[in-house]
A = this chain, B = another copy of it.
Amino acid sequence: MPMEIERKFLVSGDQWRQGAHGTLYRQGYLCTDPERTVRVRLAGDRGTLTIKGKTEGISRAEFEYPIPAGEAAQLLDRLCLRPLIEKRRYRVEYGGRIWEVDEFFGDNAGLVLAEVELETESAQVELPSWVFREVSDDPRYFNASLVKKPFCTW
């Protein structure tokens, strides 16, 4: 089964921004059940539909399919649960890996998270100075959780 292995951290400061390019992401959920989330994403002009299974440790099953951008927009506008997640994603190279830094807007404004995908759960990761706390195992920071309980309500 295709798996996603990922560690997630809170971000402090702005040092990560240097030279980083951001892409606007709009994403929403058809299902936020932790056992089986279904996500619609529009990243720039690329639409995707992603199904994820239950998180076990820092791993979860992940099935991802490209869909037409126009249909992703319709699904977001008409069918997805509210609120949508709006964020800008920056790809930052550090220590030989690509870190994805998400700066949230809307109901989750103020939240900045950094994620790094790994090949195994025990893979070594060099941590940049601008991450300060790991939240990989804190379900509040799952994007699907941020729909049900946005950062502005914390």
Contact = CB atoms under 8 A, between A and B. Distances in A.
Contact of A1 (B30, B67, B78): B78
A75 B51 contact: yes
A75 to B, nearest CB: 6
A134 interface: no
A143 to B, nearest CB: 16
A65 interface: yes
A79 interface: yes
Given A78-B53, A79-B53, A33 B36 contact: no
A49 B51 CA distance: 10
- Give the number of times this chain occurs in the complex, counting copies: 2
Interface string A77-91: 011110000000000
Interface in A1-41: 1-2, 30-31, 33, 35-36, 38
A49 B65 contact: yes
A30 B51 contact: yes
A2 B31 CA distance: 20
A130 interface: no
